[in-house]
Chains A and B, each alone.
Chain A
Amino acid sequence: MRSTFIIAFRDLSSFLKSPIFYVLTAVFLILFNYIFFNILNFFSFQSMQAAQMQGQMGAMGLNLNDMVVQPSLHNMGVILLLMIPLITMRSFSEEKKNKSVNLLLSSPVQLHEIVIGKFLACFLVVATMISLTLISIGLLFYVGEPELGPIATSYLGMLLMASCYISVGVLASSLTDNQIVAAVMSFGFTLFMWIIGWGAQAAGSDFGDLLKYLSLIDHLDPFFKGMFDVADFAYYLSVILFGLFLTHRTLDSNRWR
């Protein structure tokens, strides 16, 4: 376990030393906050209208959680979809390229410790990026009364989905020593896992249900609504673990070739 943390710590400090982390975080926050404040602006415009037409419709459907937090986080999911492959692409590709992977392989470290270490480093980077958005969300508590519970579960769901992206990204990076190839593969695959549910209608009932179930984004909705469903949690967890398992197998089989 100690080796896992040592590897994670090395990767993390390598992120912090390179401009990648700062550029990605800055771009991510600018995009997120632009989207967030526009959504908030639209919400305040709507609530002003609702106030003028008081009595007729009332402010019934207007809710900060549903109309601001949820769509903002939905958009955050899209931004992360673009950015996480850029974070994970280095994990193994870079090590393979500059041959430093031989240091890890000739050390008394087991493969799964290496894989978890790499995952952990990326997760901590992404978790930092995601938690920085809480500053903007926190501002909502000054201007209104959003529910804390659904915000908490939404962020949990977000972290889980981001972890799935990371898991896929780490797997892609273990498959090649080219970072661009790794990034494109993980981006392509995660995007496909997002939209895989779209085929549900054409696919007919049974297969369609399966496609819907596989879709990454569909499992996020309960979290956004403030629910913690074990089934959704298990779905994300199994995607993460399956990705890491395949990474482990890939590294192992690379040794045999």
Chain B
Amino acid sequence: MISVDGLTKFYGPRQAIKQLTFDVEEGEVVGFLGPNGAGKSTTMNILSCIIPASGGSAKINGFDIFEESLEIKKIIGYLPEVPPLYPDMVVSDYLRFAAGIRCVPKNKIDEAVEAALEKCWLKDVKHRITGRLSKGFQQRVGLAQALIHEPEILILDEPTIGLDPLQIIEIRKLIKELSKDRTIILSSHILPEITQICQRVIIINEGEIVAVDSLEGLTASLRKTERIQLSIREGQNQAKEILEKIRGVASVSQNDNGEFQIECELGSSLQDEIARTTLDNKWGLVELKQNAVSLEDVFLQLTTEETQVEL
């Protein structure tokens, strides 16, 4: 449904996202997880065709984000980080306006507005001015605006940011409800949130994808191993076999550049052992390091940043 290939974005000299590649299947709920400034909003803005990418391509339902943005905008509902409200408008008028420019046929606008009010529990505030609503209600109006044209795909940028715990629970319930018949991409910098709503997580850090996995897969791989990267000059052929025999090494794999990724048991600190093996076999040690952008670091940062809110 959504396929992103090598997406890149520069803001002046600063590269906000680097070669993002991922797919989202129909009906899936995918979470973008990453610390602030990781490039989540940029990616979402590009997918909603608000800003163009600097490189790479992305297709949504077969439409290209660059060439056929109008078609894409018709099937996408987007809730930006700040809900795009007109503070002087009444909620129901605002939704009518959103329905109008989102190409809902004239005779269906009333219906669509009612449905959105109903879904987002906004009936009681429909005559109030959006600028005077609380943050939680504003967020819901933002969500209603994204839903008004019954889009197949919902893109939600930090839908729970700035809300109090009760409101967060409500919004999450709502998103779960919506996910039954839609593809949803949502971003967050809070791990528990993603755990509760999403089937699959894409973790990005500093513009790069660190991991794409289901939640179970992630936790499983994380809790068991830590990763050491080794590059050597010679003996590539036999190295894998020998390294695997070291006590505490879970697996060894070689990447495209010929570097070895050694998964070790947690807390085994095998650097010494690996270095010794390398020297003894005269492979010529070039580099030995703990993986730089380790998933664990990001994960740890995310898990400790906010306290968990139970659904």
Binding site for B on A (CB under 8 A): 2-3, 6-7, 10, 13-14, 17-18, 98-110, 255-257
In the complex, the answer to whether B52 meets A255 with C-beta atoms within 8 Å is: yes
In the complex, the answer to whether B87 meets A109 with C-beta atoms within 8 Å is: no
Find B145's partner among A3, A99, A103, A110 (CB 8 Å cutoff). Answer: A103
Inter-chain CA distance A102–B50, complex, in Å, is 7
Inter-chain CA distance A7–B96, complex, in Å, is 12
Known contacts A98-B87, A101-B84; A108 and B100 CB within 8 A of each other: no
Whether B80 is near chain A, meaning CB under 8 Å from some CB there, is yes
Inter-chain CA distance A14–B83, complex, in Å, is 19
A-side contacts of B89, CB under 8 Å? 10, 14
Closest-by-CB residue of A relative to B86 is A100
Cβ distance A13 to chain B, nearest Cβ, rounded Å: 8
Known contacts A106-B49, A106-B78, A255-B52; A6 and B86 CB within 8 A of each other: no
In the complex, the answer to whether A102 meets B103 with C-beta atoms within 8 Å is: no
Closest 5 CB pairs of A and B: A103-B84, A6-B100, A108-B73, A106-B78, A99-B82
Cβ distance A113 to chain B, nearest Cβ, rounded Å: 9
Known contacts A99-B80, A100-B86, A106-B76; A255 and B103 CB within 8 A of each other: no
B-side contacts of A14, CB under 8 Å? 86, 88-89
A-side contacts of B85, CB under 8 Å? 98, 100
B residues 50-96 in Cβ contact with A at 8 Å: 50-52, 70-71, 73-74, 76, 78, 80, 82-89, 93
Find A99's partner among B51, B71, B84 (CB 8 Å cutoff). Answer: B84
Inter-chain CA distance A2–B193, complex, in Å, is 40
Inter-chain CA distance A255–B49, complex, in Å, is 10
Find B73's partner among A7, A100, A107, A255 (CB 8 Å cutoff). Answer: A107
Known: A98-B86, A99-B80, A102-B84. 17 other contacts (CB 8 A): A3-B100, A6-B100, A10-B86, A13-B93, A14-B89, A100-B84, A100-B86, A101-B84, A102-B80, A103-B101, A106-B48, A106-B50, A106-B78, A107-B98, A108-B70, A108-B73, A257-B11
Known contacts A100-B84, A108-B103, A257-B11; A10 and B97 CB within 8 A of each other: yes
Binding site for A on B (CB under 8 A): 11-12, 48-52, 70-71, 73-74, 76, 78, 80, 82-89, 93, 97-98, 100-103, 145
B-side contacts of A98, CB under 8 Å? 82, 84-87
Inter-chain CA distance A18–B84, complex, in Å, is 19
A-B contact count (CB 8 A): 72
Cβ distance B84 to chain A, nearest Cβ, rounded Å: 4
Inter-chain CA distance A6–B103, complex, in Å, is 10
Inter-chain CA distance A108–B48, complex, in Å, is 10
In the complex, the answer to whether A106 meets B88 with C-beta atoms within 8 Å is: no
Closest-by-CB residue of B relative to A10 is B97
Closest-by-CB residue of B relative to A13 is B93
A-side contacts of B76, CB under 8 Å? 106
Question: 13 pairs across A/B with beta carbons < 8 Å?
Answer: A3-B100, A6-B100, A18-B88, A98-B87, A99-B80, A99-B84, A100-B85, A102-B80, A106-B49, A106-B50, A108-B71, A108-B73, A109-B101
Cβ distance B310 to chain A, nearest Cβ, rounded Å: 31
Inter-chain CA distance A57–B30, complex, in Å, is 90
Closest-by-CB residue of B relative to A7 is B101
Inter-chain CA distance A14–B94, complex, in Å, is 11
Inter-chain CA distance A29–B52, complex, in Å, is 46
In the complex, the answer to whether B101 meets A3 with C-beta atoms within 8 Å is: yes
Inter-chain CA distance A3–B70, complex, in Å, is 13
B-side contacts of A103, CB under 8 Å? 84, 98, 101, 145
In the complex, the answer to whether A256 meets B97 with C-beta atoms within 8 Å is: no
Inter-chain CA distance A2–B93, complex, in Å, is 17
Inter-chain CA distance A180–B87, complex, in Å, is 19
Inter-chain CA distance A215–B86, complex, in Å, is 38
Inter-chain CA distance A6–B100, complex, in Å, is 7
Inter-chain CA distance A100–B87, complex, in Å, is 9
In the complex, the answer to whether B97 meets A6 with C-beta atoms within 8 Å is: yes
Inter-chain CA distance A149–B87, complex, in Å, is 45
Closest-by-CB residue of A relative to B51 is A255
Inter-chain CA distance A17–B86, complex, in Å, is 12
In the complex, the answer to whether B86 meets A106 with C-beta atoms within 8 Å is: no
